[in-house]
Amino acid sequence: MAAGGVGAGAGVISATMKLEYVSDGSEDCPLIRIHGFGPPDACSLRSLAVALADGSTGAVEVHGLARMEPVDGCRLTLRVGPEDRGIRQLPAPNAFECVLRQRTWEQVADLIAPFCEEVAPGRYQWLDESGDIALLLSADGNW
């Protein structure tokens, strides 16, 4: 989980965050990417990871968040589990869940934290690669 490049400038990349499943087109696929966000959105995502890490919630439906636009009906539920299973596809169309231990959600929160300060074009971070489908946080959708 290496950090991505950092461009110049800060601020909102898009009016709404996007949640998107990318099945192919890169050697990194398949992946789910969250992109098009500003620092306040990143802080909201970080707060969700913290809530999963500290046990104050057991699951979060990312696709249902305010300011989140699911692309092609992409649905992602984040859950706490006894082991890191990563992202798996569910039987429903374009539906996924990401199951990680509380300790791993704490690490995810730490990976999101820099985006709370600055969101620049070209900046990205792999949040989880433990399953067959990776989870990518990308300022502008690129990586």
Q: What is the pLDDT of residue 89?
A: 97
Is 11 inside a domain boundary?
A: no
Count of structural domains, the chain: 1
Is 135 inside a domain boundary?
A: no
Q: What is the pLDDT of residue 16?
A: 87
pLDDT tens digits for range 67-124: 999 999 999 999 999 999 999 999 999 999 999 999 999 999 999 999 999 989 899 9
Is 138 inside a domain boundary?
A: no
Q: Mean pLDDT over residues 8-24, rounded?
A: 72
> Has residue 6 got a pLDDT over 70?
no
d(CA 49, CA 6): 23
Is 4 inside a domain boundary?
A: no
Q: What is the pLDDT of residue 13?
A: 45
d(CA 143, CA 122): 7
Domain that holds residue 27: 19-119
Asked if 127 contacts 47 with a C-beta cutoff of 8 angstroms, the reply is no
> Has residue 8 got a pLDDT over 80?
no
> Has residue 9 got a pLDDT over 80?
no
Is 26 inside a domain boundary?
A: yes
Is 80 inside a domain boundary?
A: yes
Is 129 inside a domain boundary?
A: no
d(CA 143, CA 124): 6
